[in-house]
């Protein structure tokens, strides 16, 4: 039995069937009815206007009779039970966002793709990405914040580019390939083929999911998204020093004085912020962060220990049954429960309720691994308690995700396994270096190092993961060709750069910055890595990029970074230009995950120019990416024209197959 729902109330009718059977029945019937009815009606106005919806369910034993007669025979009432629907409806509505969006349950790989044999074709293509010169007009990046104006953005319009001669040889190298351009094209020159187009206009925002109650999610999707959010968030679950704050005395604001030791000075009734460096405000921030982290660490520790406790319980019952096989197992079970109740100081009902949840933790750990447990946050409690969609399918999905959780957890939180020391598990990090130094598989196979996936084409393959582009000094000296002085610089004097899109002041200092066009990349919140991994495509495209969390339409997935160079010929480059210079970005030896983004004829992302602090950047922007989907861009006609390779995007609308 699940633990008692504090929101549920029930009335047992006098003289009714007694005891546990009816208890079980009543709980089961009401909860299942409540869930089904909530699903059915949660979108109806009648339901939505209720601030605190409760469903009241009665059961009675009676002759078939009229309503009037029923009202006259209240003594036949078997049970009467009220269930608070607020929680259920919240759960259902919040998780509906993730419906069909799970990496491996929501259909991320098309049926067609699944059917294709896993033969890896030589990666013999030239990627000469968008000639940015051709793109003009206003750039309209979308901020993460909703704005009514967002709906006015138009969809991407690609500029067709001229064909190229088809007589250029191609080398069998992995990934980035020699391009055929013999010189750097000028604005008016024809450029070589196979160039990815980047649009000037951002896609209109729209909801990721169509509304409608027929699409009900399982809470597994929610659990999985929660795990990814924790892994890719700023949470630090390393136990070292997490109780340090116990030795620090919390600063307190002195409300009576004129000067608050919190970085603010009082003027009349107002507090004016003062530079607070080293002040008690900073100390309070540190304390608060430490306590929050300690609390999360303890919560993770608690779940880990509870899952392990269930294993100990099972083993204990097994060993008792082995020692004394004549006694039925149920008796051993009961005896073990009583012993545990004594040690915990709980009633049997309390312990049974808790065990129901803890068994859920153990099942999740068995399937998704310890990382799933440690980074699950509060979502795991609800999933274990209500168990909507908690079955073999869910466990199978978690099993396939397990290596992905571990790659991300190990590389982003190298110390997380220390928590497992408490239950005697190995604390050894399994996956080291950068998350994108690993290629994961969607069938549960163990991840492999990135370079091994290129060996057959390039035994010397190496790739250095960098967060920022590097200017090739042999090409540009000390200049960055992406930089242009603002046209109105002289008029504005030494004023700070303004965003060409929102018109607001840009600065790397969060206090000075007012531009929130791409807040996770520039200006304020660029602390967390993008929740994507490199994965092995199942249909011969070698590697690709998989989104672990949904990316709202218009939000940035990442920046296209590599070597800022010029004059490269016969190699894959992204060509771009400012009003002063033409330059190339080459990802052959260094860059980030954008180097692994494949083409699709129905792309869910696109490259977009954006100027930050007078320096042009190329951003990979979502057109609406679901969790678990491969991130793709449209390489454009220019890229595919004259190419002796077929597109394997698998879309019905594929133009290059």
Ligand X SMILES: C[S@@+](CC[C@H](N)C(=O)[O-])C[C@H]1O[C@@H](n2cnc3c(N)ncnc32)[C@H](O)[C@@H]1O
Residues within the interface to ligand X (CB under 6 A): 123, 125, 127, 174-175, 177, 541-544, 595-596, 598-600, 647-649
Task: Give the β-pairing of 438-440 and 532-536.
Answer: parallel
Closer of 123 and 156 to ligand X (Cβ): 123
Q: Are 193 and 642 in contact (CB under 8 A)?
A: yes
Nearest-approach distance from CB 532 to ligand X, in angstroms: 13
Q: List the one residue out of 115, 125, 112 whose CA is nearest residue 649.
A: 112
The residue among 413 and 599 lying less far from ligand X, judged by its C-beta, is 599
H or E element, residue 455: none
For the chain, the straight-line distance linking the first and the last C-alpha, in angstroms and rounded, comes to 55
Report how far residue 578's alpha carbon sits from residue 611's, in angstroms, rounded to the nearest whole number.
Answer: 10
**Cβ-based nearer residue to ligand X, 218 or 542:** 542
User: For ligand X, which is the closer residue by CB, 42 or 648?
Assistant: 648
| Nearest distance, CB of residue 441 and ligand X, angstroms | 14
Beta bridge partners of 230: none
The CA distance from 386 to 389, in Å, is 9
* Cβ at position 195, least distance to ligand X in Å: 12
> Would you say 379 or 650 has its CB closer to ligand X?
650
CB of 113 to ligand X, least distance (A): 11
Give the three-state DSSP class for 301. helix
Nearer to ligand X among residue 365 and residue 536 (C-beta): 536
CB atoms within 10 A of CB 35: 20
Least distance CB 116 / ligand X (angstroms): 11
Euclidean distance between CA atoms 69 and 74, whole angstroms: 10
Min. distance of Cβ 249 from ligand X in angstroms?
Answer: 54
Strand partners for 604: none
Cβ at position 243, least distance to ligand X in Å: 46
- Give whichever of 193 and 554 is closer to ligand X, judged by the CB atom: 193
Residues 6+ apart with CB under 8 A from 46: none
Cβ proximity to ligand X: between 10 and 451 the closer is 451
State the minimum distance, in angstroms, from the CB of residue 572 to ligand X: 7
Token pair of 277, please? 């460096």
Nearer to ligand X (CB atom), residue 524 or residue 649:
649
Contact 283, 262 (CB under 8 A): no
Minimum CB distance to ligand X, residue 228 (Å): 22
| Helices of type H across 53-206 | 67-72, 85-96, 111-115
Three-state secondary structure string covering 188-220: CCCCCCCCCCCCCCCCCCCCCCCCCCCCCCCHH
H or E stretch at 339 = helix 329-344
Other residues' Cβ atoms within 10 Å of the Cβ of residue 59: 17
Work out how close the CB of 649 gets to ligand X at its nearest, in angstroms, rounded to a whole number: 4
Write down the least CB distance from residue 172 to ligand X, Å. Answer: 10
H or E element that contains 28: helix 19-41
Residue 576 near residue 133, CB atoms below 8 Å: yes
Nearer to ligand X, 222 or 623 (CB): 623
d(Cα 90, Cα 96) in Å, to the nearest integer?
A: 10
Angle at the Cα of 408 (from 405 to 414), degrees rounded to 5? 115
Pick 542 or 592: Cβ nearer ligand X = 542
Give min distance, CB of 24 to ligand X, in A: 54
Rounded to a whole number of angstroms, the minimum distance from the CB of residue 476 to ligand X is: 24
Q: How far apart are CA 248 and CA 232, in angstroms?
A: 29
- Closest-CB residue for ligand X? 125
DSSP 432: -
**Cβ distance to ligand X smaller for residue 236 or 542:** 542
- Check if the beta carbon of residue 441 is closer than 8 Å to that of residue 536: yes
When the beta carbons of 31 and 599 are compared against ligand X, the nearer one is 599
The residue whose two tokens read 């699903």 is: 39
Q: Is 290 or 576 the residue whose CB approaches ligand X more closely?
A: 576
By beta-carbon proximity to ligand X, the closer residue of 99 and 596 is 596
Q: Provide the minimum distance between the beta carbon of 528 and ligand X in the complex, in angstroms, as a whole number.
A: 24
Q: How far is the CB of 563 from ligand X (least distance, A)?
A: 15
Which of helix, strand or coil describes residue 448?
strand
Residue whose tokens read 């303004």: 498
Q: How far apart are CA 619 and CA 605, in angstroms?
A: 10
What whole-number distance in Å separates Cα of residue 471 and Cα of residue 341?
Answer: 66
DSSP 458-506: -TT---EE-SS-EE-HHHHTT--TTB---TTHHHHTTPPPB-TTT--B-
Residues 6+ apart with CB under 8 A from 217: 92, 95, 96, 97, 98, 99, 100
**Hey, which residues does 281 pair with through a beta bridge?**
none
Is the CB of residue 630 less than 8 Å from the CB of residue 650?
no
């Amino acid at each position: 039995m699940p633990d008692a729902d504090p929101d549920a109330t029930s009335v047992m009718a006098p003289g009714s069937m007694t005891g546990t059977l009816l208890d079980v029945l009543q709980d089961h019937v009401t909860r299942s009815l409540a869930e089904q009815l909530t699903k059915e009606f949660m979108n109806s106005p009648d339901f939505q206007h209720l601030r605190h919806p409760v469903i009241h369910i009665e059961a009675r034993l009676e002759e078939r009779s009229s309503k009037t007669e029923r009202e006259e025979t209240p003594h036949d009432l078997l049970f009467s039970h009220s269930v608070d629907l607020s929680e259920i409806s919240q759960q259902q509505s919040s998780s509906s966002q993730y419906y069909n969006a799970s990496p491996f349950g929501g259909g991320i790989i098309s049926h067609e793709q699944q059917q294709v044999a896993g033969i890896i074709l030589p990666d013999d293509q030239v990627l000469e990405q968008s000639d940015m010169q051709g793109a003009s007009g206003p750039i309209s990046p979308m901020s993460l914040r909703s704005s009514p104006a967002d709906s006015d953005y138009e969809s991407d319009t690609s500029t067709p580019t001229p064909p190229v001669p088809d007589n250029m040889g191609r080398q069998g190298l992995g990934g980035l390939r020699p391009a055929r351009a013999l010189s750097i094209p000028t604005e008016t020159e024809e450029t070589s083929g196979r160039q990815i187009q980047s649009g000037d206009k951002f896609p209109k925002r729209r909801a990721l999911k169509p509304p409608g109650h027929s699409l009900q999610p399982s809470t597994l999707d929610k659990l999985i998204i929660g795990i990814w959010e924790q892994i890719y968030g700023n949470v630090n679950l390393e136990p070292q020093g997490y109780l340090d704050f116990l030795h620090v005395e919390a600063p307190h604001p002195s409300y009576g004085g004129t000067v608050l030791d919190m970085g603010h000075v009082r003027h009349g009734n107002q507090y004016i912020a003062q530079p607070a460096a080293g002040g008690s405000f900073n100390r309070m921030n540190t304390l608060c962060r430490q306590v929050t982290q300690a609390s999360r660490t303890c919560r993770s520790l608690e779940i880990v220990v509870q899952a392990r406790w269930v294993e100990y319980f099972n083993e204990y019952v097994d060993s008792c049954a082995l020692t004394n096989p004549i006694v039925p197992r149920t008796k051993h079970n009961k005896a073990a429960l009583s012993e545990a109740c004594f040690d915990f100081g709980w009633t049997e009902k309390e312990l049974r309720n808790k065990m129901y949840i803890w068994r859920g933790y153990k099942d999740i750990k068995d399937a998704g691994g310890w990382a799933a447990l440690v980074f699950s946050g509060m979502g795991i409690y609800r999933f274990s308690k209500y168990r909507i969609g908690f079955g073999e399918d869910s466990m199978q999905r978690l099993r396939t995700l397990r290596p992905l959780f571990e790659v991300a957890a190990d590389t982003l939180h190298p110390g997380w396994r220390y928590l497992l020391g408490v239950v005697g598990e190995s604390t050894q990090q399994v996956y080291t270096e950068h998350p994108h130094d690993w290629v994961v598989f969607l069938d549960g196979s163990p991840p492999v190092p990135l370079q091994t996936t290129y060996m057959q084409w390039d035994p010397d393959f190496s790739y250095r993961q960098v967060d920022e582009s590097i200017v090739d000094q042999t090409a540009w000296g000390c200049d960055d060709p992406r930089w242009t002085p603002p046209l109105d610089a002289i008029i504005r004097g030494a004023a700070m750069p303004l965003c060409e899109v929102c018109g607001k002041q840009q600065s790397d200092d969060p206090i000075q910055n007012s531009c929130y066009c791409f807040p996770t990349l520039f200006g304020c919140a660029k602390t967390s890595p993008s929740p994507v991994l490199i994965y092995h495509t199942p249909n011969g495209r070698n590697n690709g990029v998989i989104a672990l969390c949904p990316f709202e339409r218009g939000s940035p997935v990442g920046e296209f970074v590599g070597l800022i160079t010029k004059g490269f010929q016969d190699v894959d480059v992204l060509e771009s230009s400012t009003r002063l210079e033409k330059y190339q970005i080459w990802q052959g030896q260094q860059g980030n995950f954008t180097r692994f983004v494949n083409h699709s004829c129905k792309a869910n992302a696109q490259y977009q120019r954006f100027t930050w602090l007078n320096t042009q950047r190329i951003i990979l922007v979502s057109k609406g990416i679901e969790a678990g989907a491969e991130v793709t861009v449209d390489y454009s006609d220019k890229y595919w024209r004259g190419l002796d390779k077929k597109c394997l995007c698998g879309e019905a609308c594929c133009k290059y197959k």
